[in-house]
Structure 1
Amino acid sequence: MPTVRGSVLLVDNQDLVHIGLRLVLQRQDWVTRIIGARQRSDAIMLAVRHQPRVALVDLFVGEEFGTEICVAIRHAAPAVQVLLTSSGRSLTQDAARAAGAAGFVPKDGSVWDLLNALRSAASGETRFTRQPEPVHGALSPRQQEILELMARGATNSKIARTLDLSVDMVKHHTTAIYRRLEVSNRAAAVHRAQRLGVLAPEVSEPQWPAELPVEQLQRRAA
């Protein structure tokens, strides 16, 4: 399929990213215009006004989630193809597709990978440049560990023992996770994290109390 000429919308809160990508995109004969946004509201407004062929959206635009920006752009301007990108992280393919993205490309890849992905998205094709993996950018490494244990059904006491922390410290991190994900309980935190791509969806193995007799465990496993 031939590349369709059109404009590109860059959505990133870092000036150096805008400068570098503009220098690269200005040399592409299919790119007619380069538009820049540094927050969600501007990205939506520019997408509606200019109807770019493709929008390149970072996974974390300041305090905003790129997946939610993607959803908003696709809702306000359905013709705009959105390509998600990030530094040294990846995104689950399910989360990207659920957000309506045409693909994901890491910033630490080659410039040719990025340009090929942009051309593919502009032509209406999907493009994922590497095997999907969980993304760990919205939370601190410690918060990510706690969230993953929460997803497996671990209690605060179990998390504290596993990570060699006090229960109060676990509660402190849990509160920070809720605040960052804008939720009020564990189930909502896990669900939202999976939807955003912060946590990979997985099927938890059944957890049985250790004090049950062996016979009962065997009957449950049968």
Structure 2
Amino acid sequence: MSDRPAHEPPARLTRWEQRTEVPLFGASLLFLAGYAVRVLAPHHVQPWRDISLLLVWSTWLLFLADYAVRVRLSGLGTRFVRTHRLDTLVLLLPLLRPLRMVQVYQAVEQRYDRPRLNLYARVMTYAGMTAGLLGFSAALAVYHLEHRAPDASIRTFGDAVWWACATLTTVGYGDATPVTFWGRMVAAGLMACGLALLGAVTGSFSSWLIQVFTREDEKRPPERG
């Protein structure tokens, strides 16, 4: 019987994830680029729209193959779907792949003996990159779903980007809002992610400032009575 703890992934799965996380992140950027061309390019622009569709499907098949390998190497069978919900969600909705930024960062850091950034910088970098990619993805999705809907307030991609910025920062001006069911589902997900990411950034920044001021106070000579 193996001495490996039940919660620890098999060594083969860990090695696979370390080797494939960065290439798959690159593939996710290609997927996003293909989706962007498909959504934003006029219908008469050929063959770029067809090429972008081929790029979207080929990268998604790559994600599917990686998921199948992870299931096989984990030894969990169908239980992998329940124990790795984020992986399953990202496979079904590839525009959410920025949420795996932590795994990408960890894979990069495996090449070094220690992290190249301190904890606060890591949190802010991860949250900032994730927010940027998720915001762009959500803007594309909402524009795709909304711009032809009756009574839509999001008619251009610029409107969608403005809406994504207002939603991520929890400002919510209300001048641009989704009106379709799926557009509102995208908005709800972006609201949840925006709250979490904004909280991570502001919390880390506040903690860093407190740490800096504490060090400055410790260096200051004691006041004479």
Q: Same fold (TM over 0.5)?
A: no
Q: Please identify which structure carries the higher helix content.
A: 2
TM-score by length of 1: 0.31
TM-score by length of 2: 0.31
